[in-house]
């Protein structure tokens, strides 16, 4: 019963999370485009930075942007904040449902660090808070006058965190937490900086004071970070189903590459939307393709992978010992009434049908057996790997 309940809660929370994230990212892409598309022309109202026209859903839209603020406050003002807050909240719920509720299976890998469940959860929560504090201090430090340097420090900080998480959590949780700290910085920017600053400006306007332009500048720095971090964070969130990424012994190097790829794609769109043509937007896609190929090549470089001699019976024994308690038509594991993911290894045909996924889950990464409950050794993984790569022969 618990496993069925867990599956449903997990599915509903994931659904809510993806829908919220679509709302947030969609709105954020729209505003990035809108900002870039603004044209200054004669006849605009006082204080207007530019305007933009769009056609959508059977009508025409005419949007004017006021830098800092309009002279008078409009009666109705739409704030874009819940898209971001609900994305973070549902994301944190998912972290709880998957990694805290299932801490022994997904968060902790006792070969990496022998943590108690409460210790692992404490580290997880603290890491989110500390990441925000570090990032916020960075943005407020004297470095803020040099945005490129802030980016450089942020980049090194995120990669260092990815490395650090790899020393503490399971590979999958390490990768996910790297995404989670980035997502926390992004929502923190909205919740703790951008919205409060806008409130100050609105209050000033209502009171008839001229708002200070510095609030707009601060918000701009933060929202630029959000812009460049969006694509990497989405990849990190979805790739925790791809052990080819997080299962690598140097997964933190991949994090660095993903950060650069995502940022370069954004550079292209930011320039393109600003109406820049020619050479300035010619280099991004070739660089992204080259980096993408580099990422793939790097993922196949597995210094930890060895080919060993094996007896098929020995390999089948390993599957029976370490996998069959769950992955069978009649699981014996207390938590599972049905084979998880409908993946069963009762026959050689079933094993062969899942060969590449088995390699990904139990050889290229230590994701399976779940939480390594059965204590599968590196030697056993090597034997299983060589056998699977040989096509899982019967003899």
Binding site for ligand HEC (CB under 6 A): 241, 322-323, 325-327, 333, 340-341, 343, 354, 357-358, 361-362, 368-370, 373, 376
Nearest residue to ligand HEC, using CB? 323
> Under a CB-based contact definition with an 8 Å cutoff, are residues 178 and 161 in contact?
yes
Tokens of 240: 């925790």
153-183 burial string, b = 16+ CB within 10 Å, else e? ebbebbbebbbbbbebbbbbbbbbbbbbbbb
CB of 157 to ligand HEC, least distance (A): 29
CB of 195 to ligand HEC, least distance (A): 35
CB of 17 to ligand HEC, least distance (A): 15
Our CB check for ligand HEC shows the closer of 172 and 266 to be 172
CB of 213 to ligand HEC, least distance (A): 49
Our CB check for ligand HEC shows the closer of 211 and 243 to be 243
> Under a CB-based contact definition with an 8 Å cutoff, are residues 178 and 169 in contact?
no
Q: Torsion angle of alpha carbons 327, 333, 335, 339, nearest 10°?
A: 20
Our CB check for ligand HEC shows the closer of 231 and 318 to be 318
Any idea which residue has 């496993």 for tokens?
Answer: 3
64-96 burial string, b = 16+ CB within 10 Å, else e? ebeeebeeeeeeeeeeeeebbebbbebbbbbbb
CA 354 to chain CA centroid, Å, is 27
Our CB check for ligand HEC shows the closer of 176 and 261 to be 176
Residue 217 burial by Cβ neighbours in a 10 Å radius (0-12, 13-18, 19+): exposed
CB of 313 to ligand HEC, least distance (A): 16
Q: Torsion angle of alpha carbons 365, 243, 321, 315, nearest 10°?
A: -70
Our CB check for ligand HEC shows the closer of 264 and 326 to be 326
Phi, psi of 386 (to 5 degrees): -65, -40
CB of 306 to ligand HEC, least distance (A): 17
Our CB check for ligand HEC shows the closer of 14 and 49 to be 14
Residue 274 burial by Cβ neighbours in a 10 Å radius (0-12, 13-18, 19+): middle
CB of 315 to ligand HEC, least distance (A): 11
Q: What gap in Å lies between CA 263 and CA 266, rounded to an integer?
A: 5
Our CB check for ligand HEC shows the closer of 65 and 327 to be 327
Our CB check for ligand HEC shows the closer of 75 and 342 to be 342
CB of 295 to ligand HEC, least distance (A): 20
Q: What gap in Å lies between CA 371 and CA 251, rounded to an integer?
A: 19
């Amino acid at each position: 019963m618990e496993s069925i309940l867990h599956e449903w809660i997990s599915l509903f929370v994931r659904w809510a999370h993806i829908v919220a994230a679509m709302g947030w990212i969609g709105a954020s892409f729209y505003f990035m485009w809108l900002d870039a598309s603004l044209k200054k022309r004669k006849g605009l109202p006082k204080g207007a930075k530019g305007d933009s026209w769009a056609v959508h859903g059977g009508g025409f839209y005419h949007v004017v942007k006021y830098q800092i603020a309009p002279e008078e406050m409009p009666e109705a003002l739409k704030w874009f904040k819940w898209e971001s807050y609900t994305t973070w909240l549902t994301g944190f719920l998912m972290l709880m449902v998957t990694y805290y509720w299932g801490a022994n299976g997904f968060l902790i890998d006792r070969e990496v660090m022998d943590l108690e469940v409460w210790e692992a959860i404490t580290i997880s929560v603290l890491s989110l808070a500390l990441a925000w504090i570090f990032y916020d201090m960075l943005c407020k430090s004297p470095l803020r006058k040099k945005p490129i340097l802030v980016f450089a420090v942020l980049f090194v900080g995120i990669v260092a965190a990815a490395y650090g998480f790899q020393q503490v959590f399971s590979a999958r949780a390490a990768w996910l937490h790297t995404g989670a700290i980035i997502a926390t910085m992004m929502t923190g920017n909205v919740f703790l900086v951008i919205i409060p600053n806008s409130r100050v400006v609105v209050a000033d306007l209502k009171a008839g004071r001229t708002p200070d332009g510095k609030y707009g500048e601060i918000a701009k720095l933060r929202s630029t970070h959000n812009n460049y971090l969006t694509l990497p964070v989405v990849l990190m969130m979805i790739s925790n189903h791809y052990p080819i990424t997080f299962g690598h012994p140097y997964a933190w190097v991949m994090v660095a590459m993903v950060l650069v790829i995502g940022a370069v794609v954004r550079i292209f769109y930011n320039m393109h939307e600003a109406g820049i043509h020619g050479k300035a937007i010619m280099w991004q896609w070739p660089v992204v393709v080259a980096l993408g190929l580099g990422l793939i090549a790097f993922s196949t470089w597995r210094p930890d992978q060895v080919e060993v001699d094996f007896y098929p019976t020995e390999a089948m024994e390993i599957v029976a010992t370490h996998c069959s308690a769950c992955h069978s038509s009649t699981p014996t594991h207390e938590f599972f009434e049905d084979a998880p993911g409908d993946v069963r290894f009762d026959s050689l045909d079933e094993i062969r049908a899942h060969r590449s996924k088995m390699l990904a889950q139990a050889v290229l990464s230590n994701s399976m057996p779940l939480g390594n409950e059965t204590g599968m050794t590196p030697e056993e993984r090597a034997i299983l790997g060589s056998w699977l790569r040989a096509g899982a022969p019967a003899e």
